[in-house]
Amino acid sequence: MARSAAAPVRRRRRGTGDGALGPPSGIVAIVGRPNVGKSTLFNRISGQRRAIVDEMAGLTRDRLYGIAEWRGRRFTVVDTAGLDPRGSTRDDAEHVALVRGTQQQARLAIAEADVICLMVDVRSGITALDEEVAGILRAGGKPIVLAGNKADSPVDPYFAHELYRLGLGEPVLVSALTGIDTGDLLDRIVDELPPPDPEAEVPASALRLAIVGRPNVGKSSLLNALAGEERALVSPLPGTTRDAVDTWLDRPEGAVQLVDTAGIRRRGVIDTDVEHYSLLRALRAMERSDVAVLVVDASTGIVAQDRHVAGYAADAGKGLVVVVNKWDLLDFETRAAPATLKTVAAAFAFVPGVPVIAGSALDGRNVSKVIAAARGVAEARSTRVPTPVLNDLLRRALEDRPPRLHKGRRLKLFYAAQAQAASPTVVLFVNDPELLHFSYRRYLEHRIRAVFAFNGVPLQLVARRRSAQQAAAS
């Protein structure tokens, strides 16, 4: 078997030449029993970009979903292990919990993912639980890619032949830990993904919003308040339907598309299963939108999951608006204190300038500001920075604070241009991308934002190698 230490590096998208990638489209779920290496694979394939947001946000643990890039395709990847707390309970019923948890992940993946990667451990061979999960998946009718993990040590015998017993076709043997052949696995996964939504690639005439947030924060109440009528609330069984019904609002300033309102309306039930289904639906709704309207509950404050969802939106290149709902439940003093909203804004500071709206879906306070704020963010997201202005601005930034020497070499910026992409992406043509350090990248981003605010919008800086001759010729 040909082996290469394939770390998932960003490959150039065919045709565009500037390295810009389209919006993420498609959900890949990694399923398997505990300890086979799901989280390790997840971290490897959703690594680079997310690590940056995580570092800024101080979010390092409990990542369950992120964005992977492979062969010019971006998609959402979900580590289902973290989705079911029963999978990791440590009590007498541990085994039962483990089995239930793993089965549950498989069903969740069948309901909400486009491609399922079933991971098994080639060193331990196939267990009864692996077979059972494979059976559930085979019946589910979704494309499945079988990964035999931990194929990294020639000393240990592999049970590769056993993997065929699962009836899922040819397995890909990988090492999530070292990256051996994870590129082959990603090839197979990308081949199985449905083609990207053509709508997502072109600027839409309508403003596409995804209302997202934890259960019970008031998403459906906000939807009703925005739509201006009490709608019949439907509650289909979780995961049984693909009823991605959108609600359209005809506003004088232009149409608004509230993406997957059926998903939003699945309200009121606090149940981990429902919560996880709605989380995956929210990811899909965000994929189809321009701006995520993240609803948080003023009475409970910001929790890690709120920030994870915002982090996902930023990774996906989507705009963000935060609605601090149930403002009516706060006492007068807390409402009046400027620190209250500042604390919320600080929790989402990894998306600079994000609008934070204190409101109440119940009494209608500030609901009318939500669409206007989202429109502002969508406009910022479609801002095109003229190339000469961008280059002047960056030249001054480099003069004001020249890059430091790194092993005797210094970053040289030949020129920069904004890529043709749905979300703001600045391509820096440099002598060596390795010389663009994290802190310097942030400095440059800060300088761009000082002129073109990009409020509530992630700004991606991509470094590309150019030789001095190439730069002079173009």
Minimum Å gap between C-beta 82 and ligand GDP is 8
- 373 touches 473 (CB < 8 A): no
User: Does residue 149 interact with ligand GDP by CB under 6 A?
Assistant: yes
Of the candidates 104, 105, 325, 418, which one interacts with ligand GDP according to CB under 6 A?
A: 325
Minimum Å gap between C-beta 450 and ligand GDP is 36
Rounded Cα distance, 374 and 365, in Å: 16
Of the candidates 39, 127, 241, 366, which one interacts with ligand GDP according to CB under 6 A?
A: 39
User: Does residue 116 interact with ligand GDP by CB under 6 A?
Assistant: no
Of the candidates 74, 150, 288, 318, which one interacts with ligand GDP according to CB under 6 A?
A: 150
- Of the pair 155, 339, the CB lying nearest ligand GDP is at 155
Of the candidates 27, 106, 133, 176, which one interacts with ligand GDP according to CB under 6 A?
A: 176
**Span of 27-35, 236-244, 305-313, 402-410 interacting with ligand GDP by CB under 6 A:** 27-35
DSSP E strand stretches across 82-240: 115-121, 144-149, 172-173, 207-212
- 210 touches 293 (CB < 8 A): yes
Minimum Å gap between C-beta 38 and ligand GDP is 3
- Of the pair 201, 271, the CB lying nearest ligand GDP is at 271
User: Using N-to-C axis directions, what is the helix angle for 38-45 and 182-192, rounded to 10°?
Assistant: 80
- 410 touches 425 (CB < 8 A): no
Sheet holding 27-31, edge to edge: 65-70, 73-79, 27-31, 115-121, 144-149, 172-173
Point out which residues pair with 142 in neighbouring strands. Answer: none
Helices (H), 202-271: 219-227, 261-265
Total Cβ atoms within 10 A of residue 62: 10
**Span of 175-183, 303-311, 383-391, 425-433 interacting with ligand GDP by CB under 6 A:** 175-183
Minimum Å gap between C-beta 276 and ligand GDP is 14
Site for ligand GDP in 355-394 (CB under 6 A): 360-362
Count of residues near ligand GDP by CB under 6 A: 32
Strands 291-297 and 73-79: unpaired
- 179 touches 226 (CB < 8 A): no
Q: Which CA distances in Å does 337 have to 155, 296, 323, 345, 409?
A: 64, 18, 17, 14, 50
- Of the pair 49, 265, the CB lying nearest ligand GDP is at 265
Of the candidates 217, 258, 324, 394, which one interacts with ligand GDP according to CB under 6 A?
A: 217
SS3 state of residue 153? coil
User: Does residue 334 interact with ligand GDP by CB under 6 A?
Assistant: no
Of the candidates 22, 31, 38, 315, which one interacts with ligand GDP according to CB under 6 A?
A: 38
- 87 touches 96 (CB < 8 A): no
- Of the pair 46, 221, the CB lying nearest ligand GDP is at 221
- Of the pair 31, 462, the CB lying nearest ligand GDP is at 31
Minimum Å gap between C-beta 68 and ligand GDP is 16
- Of the pair 35, 420, the CB lying nearest ligand GDP is at 35
Minimum Å gap between C-beta 30 and ligand GDP is 8
User: Does residue 329 interact with ligand GDP by CB under 6 A?
Assistant: yes
Q: What are the two backbone dihedrals, phi and then psi, of residue 29, each rounded to the nearest 5 degrees?
A: -105, 135
User: Does residue 25 interact with ligand GDP by CB under 6 A?
Assistant: no
Of the candidates 20, 31, 36, 285, which one interacts with ligand GDP according to CB under 6 A?
A: 36
Q: What is the DSSP letter of 164?
A: G
Site for ligand GDP in 241-300 (CB under 6 A): 267-268
- Of the pair 42, 440, the CB lying nearest ligand GDP is at 42
User: Using N-to-C axis directions, what is the helix angle for 47-57 and 304-315, rounded to 10°?
Assistant: 130
36, two tokens: 């086979």
**In a 10 Å sphere around its CB, with 0-12 CB exposed, 13-18 middle and 19+ buried, how is residue 338 labelled?**
exposed
Minimum Å gap between C-beta 459 and ligand GDP is 30
> By the criterion CB under 6 A, which residues form the site for ligand GDP?
32, 34-40, 81, 149-150, 152, 175-177, 213, 215-221, 267-268, 325-326, 328-329, 360-362
